[in-house]
Chains A and B, each alone.
Chain A
Amino acid sequence: MARPLTDEEVDRIRNDFPILDQLVNGHPLNYLDSGATSQNPLSVMEAEQEFYEQRNAAVHRGAHTLAFGATETFEAARATVAAFIGAKADEIVWTSNATEGINLVAYAFSNASLGLGGPAATRFSLGAGDEIVVTEMEHHANLIPWQQLALRTGATLRFIPVLDDGTLDLAAAAGVIGARTRLLALTHASNVVGTINPVAELVALARSVGALVLLDACQSVPHLPVDVAALDVDFAVFSGHKMLGPTGIGVLYGKAELLAGMPPFLTGGSMITTVDMHTAEFLAPPQRFEAGTQRISQAIALAAAVEYLTETGMERIAAREAELGQRLVAGLVGIPGVRLLGPPAGVDRIGLASFDLAGVHAHDVGQYLDEAGIAVRVGHHCAQPLHRRLGVTASTRASTYLYTTTDEVDRFLATLAEVAPFFGVKS
C-alpha cells in the first residue's frame, strides 16, 4: 500500500483549486460532492485556455498548420488517457460522458442485431434467449441503456442482487451468469455505497460462459489506480468531470479487436472513408465512433487532469481516500440515528459514504449542511433500485477527493450531529 497523501500535501494541493477558497453562507466551502462532479485544478483550466488562445482548429480535417497542430495535441491527449488506464491509444473513444459511452456500446449491439456491421458484428447480435446481466447497484446510466437494448432486441435483462451490506451477492452471481449471458455490465465502485466490486471474480465468471464485460469505471478511474488490461474487461467507461477534468468529455475504452467489429452509433462526418448517395464506408476505430466535430479542448483539458493525477500519484490518492472513507464511516456510525448504507467500517470502500438519518429526510439534511457551507449530495443518486433494495427512497452522500481535508470530514460529522436535534427527532 502506498503512503497516503499527508494533510500538508493536501493543503498544498488545495492551492491549485481556486474554487475551494470561498465562503458559502458565511462558512468556508466544504465540498463533499466530488462523487457528483470534481473541481478543476488551474492546470486543467489553463490547458483549455491555452488551446483556445493558441491552437484552436478543427481536428482530422484541413491541411493548414493550425489544424495539424490541433490534431497532434488532440491525439496526444488520447495517448495520455490511454496510458493512464493501461490501454492503447486506438482503444480510446472520446464520448460526451460515460452515459454516451454505454449507449454507444448498447447501440452497437442493437445495430448488430439489425444486421448492420456485417459478419464481423454478429458476435454483438442479440435476440430472444440471450441475456444481459447487470447488478442491482448500477447507476441508471448503466441500467436504462440495457433495459432499452433488451426491449429492442428481445433479449432478457437479469441482475446480480445486492446484499444488505451493500456488496454483490456473489453466490447468486454464479447462478445469474450462465450459458445465455452475452454481456455483463457492472460498476467497478458504487456511487452510492462505495463498495469496490470484485471485478476479477466476475470477469472470470463472464469468461467462463463467453460473455463480454463492460465496466462502469466512473467512480474508480478518478480514485483508484485502474488498469483495464489487467482487469481484462472488454469495455470501460468513465467521465472527465469526475476526475478533475471539464464536463462534456468522457471515455469509452474497448478492446481493439472488439471495436473493430462494432457498427457505429452516431454517424455523420469525420467517421467515413467513401460516401455515395446511398452508402458509406466507415473509418477504423476510434474515428468510426467519433462522428462530427469532436470535444477538442475538453479532451486536451482531460489529458491535463490525467497528468495532474499521475503526478500526484494514483496509489497515494487511493490510500488517502481510503483513510477518509474510513474516517467518514467511523464518524457516521457514532451519530445517533444514522444508518450507514453499504459496507461496515474496515471493509474497503472508495472515499465516500451514504447514509440515512432516522426521522429526517435527506433533502432536509442537505439543507442544514448547506447552511454550514457543506456541499453533499441528497436524493437517490441516480440509483433508485439500489435505494429500494436498501429500504430507503433517498440518502445523503458525502464524497471526498484528493483535495478533501480531514478537518472537512470532521466538520461535516460535527454538523451532521446537530441535524436530528434541530428537527426535533429524538433518538
Chain B
Amino acid sequence: MTQSAMQQLYQQIILDHAKSRNGASAEGLPPLEAAGTAAGASRGAASPAGAGSGSRVTESHQVNTTCGDEVTVRIGLRAGESGGSPASAGEPADDVVIEEFAWAGDGCSISMASASVLHDIVRGENVATARAVLNTFREMLRSRGTIEPDEEVLGDAAAFAGVSRYPARVKCAMLPWVAFEAALLAG
C-alpha cells in the first residue's frame, strides 16, 4: 500500500474539513423564497432576495454526474464601500461583499472539504478577493500537479494541490467552487 500517495491526496486539512463541514447546513437549506422568514435556519439567507438594491441572495445547485455528488451554495451579497451594487444578475462589482455563505451537500471527502474551505475563505470577503482565489484554485487543479500551490492566496485551499494529480477527482474539488461562481452570476 503506497500510503504516501494516499496521504498526499488526503491531506489532514482535507480530512478535518470533510468532518467539520464549516458553513454546512446538515438538514439542507430552506427554500430560497421562504429563506427570509426562516430566521436562523440558514445564515446565508439573512438578506432575503429582493429586499432592496443593497443586497441579494442567490444560490446554485451543482451535481457531479459521474458520481452523484451534489452541493448547493447560497450566498448573500451586500453593496461594497465604493458603492458597487449586487442588485442585478451578472458578475457583481469588485467591492461587493459576500456577507453570507451557506451550503448543503452530499459527497466525497474531497468535495465536502472543498466546500468547507471555500466557506472559510470567501465568507466576509469582497468579490475581487474571492475571484482571485477561485482563479488561482482552478489553475492549480487543472495543472496535473505542475503548479506549486500559492499558499499566500489559497490558504487551506492549497491542501488540494495533490488532487490535481488525479484528473478524475478535480471535479470533486471544483464542485462547490463552480456552485459558488454560478451563484455569484445568478439573478
Contacts and interface: CB of A to CB of B under 8 A. Distances in A.
Nearest to B15: A424
Interface footprint category on A: 20 to 34
A378 interface: yes
Interface string A357-388: 00011111001100110000011100010000
A371 B1 contact: yes
A253 to B, nearest CB: 31
Nearest to A360: B109
Interface string A285-323: 000000000000000000000000000000000000000
B110 interface: yes
Contacts of B109: 360-361, 364, 423
A395 to B, nearest CB: 10
B67 A363 contact: yes
A361 B68 contact: no
B8 to A, nearest CB: 10
A418 B67 contact: no
A415 interface: yes
Contacts, number: 55
Interface string B1-29: 11101100110000100010000000000
Interface residues of B, number: 22
A26 interface: yes
Nearest to B66: A379
B158 to A, nearest CB: 20
A397 to B, nearest CB: 13
A422 B110 CA distance: 14
B70 to A, nearest CB: 8
Contact of A25 (B5, B68, B112): B5
Contact of A384 (B5, B15, B68): B68
15 contacts: A26-B2, A362-B67, A363-B169, A363-B172, A364-B10, A364-B109, A364-B110, A367-B6, A367-B169, A371-B1, A372-B1, A379-B68, A393-B68, A393-B106, A422-B3
Interface of B: 1-3, 5-6, 9-10, 15, 19, 66-69, 106-110, 112, 166, 169, 172
